[in-house]
Amino acid sequence: MKNVAVKKYEIDRNFLNCHIAGFQYYDGCQVIDELNVGVPLDIFAEADNPHDATAVAIYFGEKKLGYIPAGKNEELSKFLQFGHADIFEVNINFKNLDLHPEQQFRIAVKIKDER
């Protein structure tokens, strides 16, 4: 009988995938050449945002790129507002400059693997 390799099931770390809402209105065009697949980003809750109390802003360094789309931000905002930003890693996972500015970039928000 042959030895059969058995793989252990690995749970997906993916928390959220989305486009960057409002990209054309913020500072993304100033750093667009630096925004490539795999580049790490930062996210911050904006609980005092007058348009959306669950707003989550996306930054590259000091440059605001836009937001997690409304309707996809509630759970993430809750984690961030309670001080749990350190459990997430955020990276660009799609770039296509031929598309409409709202669709040019997608990001992945993943739960960090601290095992």
Tens of each residue's pLDDT in the chain, 115 residues: 677 788 888 888 999 999 999 999 999 999 999 999 999 999 999 999 999 999 999 999 999 999 999 999 999 999 999 999 999 999 999 999 999 988 999 999 999 998 8
Q: How do strand 88-95 and strand 55-60 relate by DSSP bridges?
A: unpaired
Global confidence as pTM = 0.90
Determine the Cα–Cα distance for residues 99 and 104; give it in Å rounded to an integer: 5
Identify the three-state secondary structure at position 113.
Answer: coil
pLDDT given at position 1: 60
Determine the Cα–Cα distance for residues 102 and 99; give it in Å rounded to an integer: 8
Which two tokens mark 40? 């790490």
Name the architecture of domain 14-111. Answer: 2-Layer Sandwich (3.30)
pLDDT given at position 17: 97
Tell me the domain boundaries of the chain. 14-111
